[in-house]
Structure 1
Amino acid sequence: MNRNKDKAWYIADVGDDLIYIAEKLNTKANSEDYHFENELLMLKEVLETLESLECLKEHSE
């Protein structure tokens, strides 16, 4: 049960991160700021989290 709760928190965090990244990119799209290094790093972290969740899923099956 605790493992499922942890996975739910990871998924919620990923969702929050994606919303934050989308908002930052939307703001930058309406400005002259075209530096996306921070957003790319955050996306990389999101992908790593999703990959780790996939590994957890495979081990639980």
Structure 2
Amino acid sequence: MTTTPVVNSVDPASGSTSGGTHVTVSGSGLTGATQVRFGPTPSTSFTVNSDSQMCRSR
């Protein structure tokens, strides 16, 4: 059974297109995430802190 992740918020809502912004994604079902995208751009790395929060620098 696969759980579909639900994103409730992304903080901050915007950042530099050149990268370096620390982003926190909050929601549910985030454990086991294998990919994070900001629009069409895939994240090169991210950390899942819990089922309800992950962080990434974009």
In the superposition, the TM-score normalised over structure 1's length comes to 0.21
Structure with the higher strand share, 1 or 2: 2
Tell which has more relative contact order, 1 or 2 (C-alpha 8 A, sep 6+): 1
Name the one with the larger helix percent. Answer: 1
TM-score, L = length of structure 2: 0.22
